[in-house]
Amino acid sequence: MVLDLRVLTRQAKDRLIEFSDRPLMMGVVNVTPDSFSDGGRYLEAEAAVAHAIQLVEEGADLLDIGAESTRPGADPVDEAEELRRAIPVVTAVARAVTVPISIDTSKASVAQAALDAGAVLVNDVTALRGDPAMVEVIARTGAGIVLMHMQGTPQTMQQAPSYEDVVGEIAVFFEDRIRFALAHGVARRQIVLDPGIGFGKLPIHNRTLLARLHRFSYFGCPLLIGVSRKAFLGQLVDRPVQERQWATAAAVAMAVERGAGILRVHDVRAMKDVMQVTVAISQETTVSMKAQHA
């Protein structure tokens, strides 16, 4: 499947993110809080910019910059603080690299400021259910929007996730969110879908979603998958977060093989190798099947 996502903003009026023969690698840039001093805050921003540049050198096709943690139980960050953390980093990264920048936020004001600073994609883990002003920002700017599924909120999502049919329920959720976005003036080509691995899901739900990912391809939107170092992988191999690269690699390979269009990862260099090998082998399967039927 060939997927096009045209992302139009005032800064990049003709930006085209093309999905052709391989998925795109999205490098994660977290601007983490610094509770010590403003000096520390400046260093934190500098470190985030250096990290972003390094990820691009490692082969990132996109960057996702986020200043509010969405980990289970994480405290919300207020708007002023999120703006203070994120915008200087987006501004500096946009000057330093040419790859498209995504802002990981569910606040319309942060999204707008990041788009003004050079971002072209908004990664909204609430899928336009959080800030009522977000859909208007996306419709007006023409920015890309990631609609991610989450059961509950980051504070509550891992308390008792429950589904009768996780794949079917998320497909219905996508239908509803796409309808909402289109009704408010967002174009389908702006939309990326994400089943939200680890967001209000038990390990069995995450495994099922990855196993049946191709179920979501009929929406015709790129699929974003974030498995990097997540807890359900740690549980399978009994390893702490810093030692989950191999487990992540296996999940990335499965997601690529099942049609993921964007892989959100921390270890860009290693996961790009995993992606390239998986794509090369998958393409051979298609070619040899075609040859057999010829």
Tokens of 151: 């059961």
Which of the residues 85, 207, 264, 272 is marked catalytic?
Answer: 264
**If we measure between CA atoms, which residue out of 197, 163, 191 comes closest to residue 70?**
197
| Residue 241: DSSP 8-state | G
Across the chain, where does the E strand assignment appear? 3-6, 16-19, 24-30, 62-66, 101-104, 121-124, 144-148, 191-194, 224-225, 262-265
Beta strand residue intervals within 72-117, DSSP E:
101-104
Applying the rule CB under 6 A, the residues between 204 and 263 that interact with ligand HH2 are: 224, 226
CA distance 133 to 258: 34
Contact with ligand HH2 (CB under 6 A): which of 17, 61, 70, 233?
Answer: 70
Query: Please, what's the b/e burial string for 64-103 (b: 16 or more CB within 10 A of its CB; e: otherwise)?
Result: bbbbbbbebeeeebebeebbbbbbbbbbbbbeebebbbbb
Closest to ligand HH2 by CB, 139 or 197: 197
Token pair 């860009």 in the structure block, residue = 268
* Closer residue to ligand HH2 (CB): 73 or 281: 73
Q: Determine, following the binding rule CB under 6 A, whether residue 153 of this chain makes contact with ligand HH2.
A: no
**Dist. CA 136–CA 162, nearest whole Å:** 32
Which of 71, 184, 188, 214 is close enough to bind ligand HH2 by CB under 6 A? 71
Are the C-beta atoms of residues 249 and 268 closer than 8 Å to each other?
A: no
Q: Choose which of 61, 82, 131, 194 interacts with ligand HH2 (CB under 6 A).
A: 194
By CB under 6 A, the residues from 92 to 131 that bind ligand HH2 are: 104, 123, 125
Query: Of the residues 230, 244, 258, 272, which is catalytic?
Result: 230
267 binds ligand HH2 (CB under 6 A): no
- Has 230 been annotated as catalytic? yes
Residue 142 binding ligand HH2, by CB under 6 A: no
One residue of 69, 153, 276, 282 binding ligand HH2 per CB under 6 A: 69
Closest CA to 245 of 236, 232, 233: 233
Q: Count the residues in the chain.
A: 294
- Stretches 64-72, 133-141, 166-174, 215-223: which one binds ligand HH2 (CB under 6 A)? 64-72
66 touches ligand HH2 (CB under 6 A): yes
197 binds ligand HH2 (CB under 6 A): yes
d(CA 279, CA 285): 10
14-43: contacts with ligand HH2 (CB under 6 A): 28, 30
In the complex with ligand HH2, which residue's Cβ is closer, 123 or 151?
Answer: 123
Binding site for ligand HH2 (CB under 6 A): 28, 30, 66, 69-71, 104, 123, 125, 146, 148, 194, 196-197, 224, 226, 264
Which residues are tagged catalytic? Answer: 230, 264
